[in-house]
């Protein structure tokens, strides 16, 4: 049987609206499936223009933040931009340093080391910055949960401005300003900004205040990379931020992006959100996962083609090592959770798990088994974990119940992390597992696959692919359009990939023949039959200068078995 539950979404109920909307029935159906249900919303979604930009002053404490930054700029203070070691934090740090420098500021970056310092503010680092002459720290992609660290810094005379997008705790840091759309005091209409997105809103307000708002577009490429890397949904304002950033990178990419594209064999001018998510972002993340996130920052900020080449070459190599470690660690983690009988919450712990890839392994476990997953790097005194979850289980809400067990923690409903004394680990495992078992008792723990439209393969001609691309960029909340075709004839197939985990197929229906690829579906070999039902996306396969439209199969079964 299929590993997924197939969910064919219902047709638009108002067929009169479909015929009068001025768009193709397919496009109206795709928009409807993504929650864009009123004709007056269609054009705004598709255009993704400046009308989607929100007023930065609707964010909490924006006025106070702008005033304090300009005080620092006018008096020549040294400002530190304190980021995070993932691609969202790295791009946010680079964007803010570049923006403040353009305004005449003296800005320096600080990106903590994942293994030795962890996510968020560290008191020892803040003290060192203060002793080095820093008088203002602006956080990007972190800080909203660092109540004690901010209090200590402010007492020593170090001012803190927080820009973050993570869920706040009940107690808010007593900083000069705390800018986060998820604060209860926020009037901002869009809650899904990434860390670099929130940092961009402060930059937008700063440039607005001196009548130079158009200049803030110089960092739009960085905003797009961080937004995609953070898997922030490409809806609302994010659509504009991603599209504008892609335009910039496809016309005049900065040296670091140019060299990274060269290393990863991405043709100039062809960068899209998918390539950022699957190629560019993993390379930037690899530095923070296995070494020092400052390398990724240096790649983004350099004006030197030679330095860009050297850094991009190193990042490509470290990303290969990251891939190797992920494969090995995932195999070990799978063995553990399968041996446990696949409980509602997957918890796997080992001192050999590299801290930097725990989140990747947790993501793969959750994707494969459709259960919340916690992957823990254990040590004698302190353990670190990354968590990934499913829509039916809010992982950060769950962790909130056990806050007394953690040294620090934070995150979102679907992704979080924590650090805790290892002695607390048995209690956490027991109580968190019990909570998950209770909340997921009535949930069918199988991944479901939303399908946009039932079609026959001969109906995919004409401008079908171009129509689907009108909805780009894609991501969580706006997935790539997915089709279902039943009774497709399987002409031939073969395994592909270094370990044979992918399938190549040639399919026929109604006189039309399609090439197709099924990634990681070699486990479905027993479903191969003379006729199969397939769920797929349309994609362009670019190989040796040629382009070929093909089917990207995401699931299949023997015809009639579902």
Tokens of 235: 């809806």
Mean pLDDT of the chain, nearest integer: 93
Residue 21 confidence (pLDDT): 73
CATH architecture of the domain with range 340-439: Roll (3.10)
The pLDDT of residue 326 is 93
CATH 2.40.50.460 positions along the chain are 5-14+448-558
- Complete edge-to-edge strand list for the sheet that includes strand 373-377: 346-350, 373-377, 382-388, 415-421, 408-411
More confident residue, 431 or 499: 431
CATH of 5-14+448-558, one of 1.10.8.620, 2.40.50.460, 3.40.1030.10, 3.40.30.10: 2.40.50.460
pLDDT of residue 2: 47
- Domain limits, CATH 3.10.310.30, in the chain: 340-439
Mean pLDDT of 451-475: 93
The predicted pLDDT at position 546 comes to 78
User: What does the pLDDT average to over 331-360?
Assistant: 94
Q: Is the peptide bond before 130 cis (omega within 30 degrees of 0)?
A: no
List of residues 6+ apart from 430 with CB closer than 8 A: none
Query: How confident is the model at residue 53, as a pLDDT?
Result: 94
How far is the C-alpha of 65 from the C-alpha of 67, rounded, in Å? 5
DSSP string, 283-344: HHHHHHHHS-THHHHHHHH---HHHHHHHHHHHHHHHHHHHHHHHHHHHHHHHHHHHTT--S
Tell whether the model's pLDDT for residue 3 goes beyond 80: no
Distance between start and end Cα atoms, the chain: 8
**Average pLDDT of the residues in 254-269:** 94
Q: Region 258-283: what's the mean pLDDT?
A: 93
Mean pLDDT of 466-482: 93
> For residues 470 and 310, what is the distance between their CA atoms, to the nearest angstrom?
37
pLDDT band at 1 (very low <50, low <70, confident <90, very high): very low
Q: Span 189-202, mean pLDDT?
A: 97
Question: Could you tell me the CA-to-CA distances from 152 to 126, 138, 159, 502 in Å, in that order?
Answer: 9, 15, 10, 53
- List beta partners, residue 533: 557
Res 244: pLDDT: 96
| C-beta separation of 175 from 106 below 8 A | no
Class (C level, CATH) for 52-221: alpha beta
Give pLDDT tens digits for 301-344. 999 999 999 999 999 999 999 999 999 999 999 999 999 999 99
246 neighbors 220 (Cβ within 8 angstroms): no
Q: pLDDT digits over 57-107, tens only?
A: 999 999 999 999 999 999 999 999 999 999 999 999 999 999 999 999 999
Helix (H) or strand (E) holding 101: helix 87-102
- Mean pLDDT to the nearest integer, 533-556: 89
The stretch 364-368 carries a mean pLDDT of 92
The CATH 3.90.1640.30 domain(s) of the chain lie at 52-221
**pLDDT tens readout for residues 167-187:** 998 999 999 999 999 999 999
Tell me what pLDDT residue 543 has: 72
Q: What is the pTM of this model?
A: 0.89
pLDDT at residue 20 in the model:
72
Q: Report how far residue 44's alpha carbon sits from residue 235's, in angstroms, rounded to the nearest whole number.
A: 11
Residue 437 pLDDT more than 70? Answer: yes
* Confidence class for position 403, pLDDT limits 50, 70, 90: very high
Report the alpha-carbon angle 74-78-82, nearest 5: 120
Cα–Cα distance, 90 to 300 (Å, whole number): 9
Query: Kind and range of the H or E element at 247?
Result: helix 237-251
């Amino acid at each position: 049987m299929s590993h997924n539950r197939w969910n064919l979404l219902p047709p638009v109920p108002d067929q009169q609206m479909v015929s009068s909307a001025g768009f193709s029935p397919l496009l109206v159906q795709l928009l409807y499936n993504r929650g864009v249900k009123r004709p007056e919303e269609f054009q705004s979604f598709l255009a993704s223009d400046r009308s989607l930009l929100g007023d930065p002053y609707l964010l909490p404490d924006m006025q106070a933040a702008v005033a304090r930054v300009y005080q620092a700029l006018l008096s020549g203070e040294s400002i530190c931009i304190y980021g995070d070691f993932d691609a969202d934090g790295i791009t946010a740090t680079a964007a803010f340093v570049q923006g403040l420098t353009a305004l005449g500021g003296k800005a320096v970056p600080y990106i903590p080391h994942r293994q030795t310092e962890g996510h968020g503010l560290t008191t020892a680092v803040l003290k060192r910055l203060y002793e080095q002459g820093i008088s203002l720290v602006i956080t990007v992609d972190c800080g909203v949960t660092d109540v004690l660290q901010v209090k200590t810094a402010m007492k020593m005379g170090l001012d803190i401005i927080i820009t973050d997008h993570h869920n706040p705790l009940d107690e808010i840091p007593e900083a000069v300003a705390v800018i986060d759309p998820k604060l209860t005091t926020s009037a901002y209409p869009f809650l899904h900004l990434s860390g670099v997105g929130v940092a961009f809103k402060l930059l937008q307000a700063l440039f607005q205040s001196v009548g130079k708002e158009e200049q803030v577009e110089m960092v739009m490429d960085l905003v797009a990379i961080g937004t995609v890397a953070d898997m922030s949904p490409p809806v609302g304002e994010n659509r504009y931020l991603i599209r504008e950033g892609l335009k910039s990178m496809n016309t005049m990419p900065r040296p670091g992006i140019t060299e990274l594209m060269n290393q990863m064999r991405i043709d100039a001018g062809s960068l899209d959100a998918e390539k950022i998510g699957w190629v560019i972002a993993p390379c930037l993340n690899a530095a923070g996962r296995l070494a020092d996130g400052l390398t990724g920052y240096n790649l983004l900020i350099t004006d030197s083609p030679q330095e860009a080449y050297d850094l991009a070459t190193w990042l490509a190599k470290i990303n290969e090592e990251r891939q190797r470690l992920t494969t090995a660690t995932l195999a070990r983690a799978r063995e553990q959770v399968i041996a446990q009988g696949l409980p509602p919450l997957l918890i796997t712990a080992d001192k050999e798990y590299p801290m930097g890839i725990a989140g990747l392994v947790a993501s793969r476990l959750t994707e494969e088994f459709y259960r919340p997953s916690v992957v823990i790097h254990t040590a004698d005194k302190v353990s670190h974990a990354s968590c990934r979850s499913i829509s039916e289980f809010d992982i950060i809400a769950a962790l909130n119940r056990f806050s007394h067990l953690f040294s620090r923690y934070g995150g979102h409903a679907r992704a979080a992390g924590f650090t805790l004394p290892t002695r607390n680990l048995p209690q956490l495992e027991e109580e968190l597992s019990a909570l998950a078992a209770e909340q997921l008792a009535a949930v069918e723990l199988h991944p479901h696959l939303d399908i946009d439209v039932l079609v026959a393969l001969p109906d995919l001609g004409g401008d079908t692919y171009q129509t689907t691309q009108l909805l780009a960029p894609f991501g969580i909340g706006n997935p790539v359009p997915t089709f279902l075709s039943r009774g497709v004839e399987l002409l031939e197939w073969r395994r592909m990939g270094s370990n044979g985990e992918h399938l190549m197929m040639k399919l026929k229906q109604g006189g039309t023949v399609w090439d197709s690829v099924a990634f990681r579906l070699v486990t479905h070999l027993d479903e191969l039959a003379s006729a199969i039902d397939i769920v797929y996306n349309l994609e362009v396969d670019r190989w040796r200068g040629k382009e070929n439209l093909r089917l990207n199969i995401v699931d299949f079964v023997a015809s009639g078995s579902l």
